[in-house]
Amino acid sequence: MLWSLFKIILFVAVIALLTLGAGQLMETSGGIRIAIGSTELNLQPLQAVIVGVLLVLAIWVAIVLIGLLIAFIRFVNGDETAISRYFDRSRERKGYEALAEGMIALASGEGSTAMSKASRAEKYLRRPELTNLLTAQAAEMSGDKRKANEVYRRLLRDERTQFVGVRGIMKQKLAEGDTETAMKLAQKAFALKPRHTETQDVLLGLQARDSDWSGARKTLGAKLKYGALPRDVHKRRDAVLALSEAKGILNDGNDIKAREAAIEANRLSPDLVPAAVMAARSYIEDGKPRYATRVLTKAWSAQPHPELAAAFADIVPDETPTERLKRFRALTKHHEGEPETQMLKTELNIAAEDFASARKALGFLPDDIPSQRALTLLAAIERGEGADDQTVRALLARAVTAPRGPQWVCDNCNYVHEAWTPICEACKGFDTLAWKPAPETESTMQGSAGMLPMIVGGAEEISEDGGAPDQDEAPDAEVLDAEVVQLDADDTREAPAPTS
């Protein structure tokens, strides 16, 4: 700014001096005499002006030539000059053009072309933080894992690209199945960028597969902290992790700590069936049946489930069928129109030998929503009311081909599980199991425990003539039981193979 002002003032002063000089020359009658030694030169005013202009021009040309000479010397010496900046801009333009072409080739699936363009871009730009990433991705696309790994390791040397290098090697280890190394790399990547959602998910999945429930809960807390997970989803998944942690503690023999963890899991997600069952059994073992009743009732009101009913029966295991029917009204008053509640009331009435009430409770369920369990209950009612063997066998034959009803099915791959687990056995998805009907083509037949009422475990068997045997009389292997056992032996099928 000051330099520009100085040049303007200098220009005005020069013009003023020139004007003043020209005026003086015009008023001078004689001329200008220049004497150098014995040489004398006389100039008329006009000639003097022309000589002055030529002198100024010569000085300007000399300055320009000197500037060019200095610039050439600096260029040769390696200093930045206008010439060097020109060539630098040319190289930069060519480099970014090559980089853009490489990115387009990568998006088009042309891995080899992208690699060559990345090499060309590096030659002109000398920006490894840009070109190395393109090279690594192009190498992976081309199947050159060794080259990709080499480039990712170069990225580790620069703090700006260290996360990219760690993440790239981590993904390679995951593809190779080296989960142990991938876990360490995921932890490193998470430490570098705890907000990165993909890294959070990868680390959480690896910790869950490795049964590191405590670490997984910390990672889940980080997802909530950085806004990558809604609060309600966090509570649900934290409950799943707490339940898994409780099971691990129980397997280690620490019953007290396992109970506390199970109760914590149920508190976080009261509708999580396995957590409610485990918490209720913990209360039962601790001599707190009222707490167990409260937990199971709340879970049943959210979603009826046979495991909840089985745990509810364990609260008072030695009660009579009539007493049990009365106590179970705390559950059966919820979701009265749902199949699970209907079948539970049916089982309770069968145990109490009230077959008319059992048929009323079952309603049209065997016809509207036929399942193995519903048809087996109908067979038990028919047998209890004195129906002939042919009728009972016909119902059990229908049960063989009927759907199994709700099961623990993975929402991602539809794989059917025998029991709830936090991780899908097929696709390794976390918290993907839901209690719902399996696809009809994947229905499977399990043992008789899955078809006959679990809730009446200690109840009397149905006798040949439709009544109940005496308490002191050993249960006979009647037609119903024989048919169920035969179904189990002949028609049990494997659970479906994992689907991708």
The residue whose two tokens read 């179970």 is 328
Average pLDDT, rounded, for the chain: 81
Instruction: Write the DSSP symbol of residue 27.
Output: H
Q: Which residue has the tokens 């309770």?
A: 348
Confidence of residue 299 (pLDDT cuts 50, 70, 90): very high
Q: Is the pLDDT of residue 35 over 90?
A: no
The most confident of 250-264, 339-353, 419-433, by mean pLDDT: 339-353
Bridge partner residues of 32 (DSSP): 43
Q: Which of these, 141, 95, 93, lies nearest to 118 by C-alpha position?
A: 95
> Over the stretch 14-33, which tens digit does the pLDDT of each residue have?
888 878 876 776 666 666 67
Q: Transcribe 380-403 into DSSP letters.
A: HHHHHTT--HHHHHHHHHHHHHS-
* Residue 155 pLDDT grade (very low, low, confident, very high; cuts 50, 70, 90): confident
Name the amino acid, one letter, at 482.
Answer: A
Longest Cα separation, the chain = 158
As a whole number of angstroms, the distance between CA 270 and CA 448 comes to 30
Cβ atoms of 253 and 274 within 8 Å: the answer is no
Query: Hey, what amino acid is at 82?
Result: A
DSSP 403-414: ---EEEEETTT-
CA 417 to chain centre: 22
User: CB of 141 within 8 A of CB of 106?
Assistant: yes
Q: How many C-beta atoms surround the C-beta of residue 417 within 10 A?
A: 16
Question: 221, 216, 282, 222: which is closest to 247 by C-alpha?
Answer: 282
pLDDT of residue 439: 78
Q: What digits encode the pLDDT tens for the residues 393-443?
A: 999 999 888 888 899 999 999 999 989 999 999 988 888 999 998 876 544
**In one letter, which amino acid is 159?**
E
pLDDT surpassing 90 at residue 330: yes
The residue type found at 153 is R
DSSP letter for 430, please.
Answer: B
* Strands 39-43 and 32-36, bridge-based pairing: antiparallel
pLDDT at 481 over 60: no
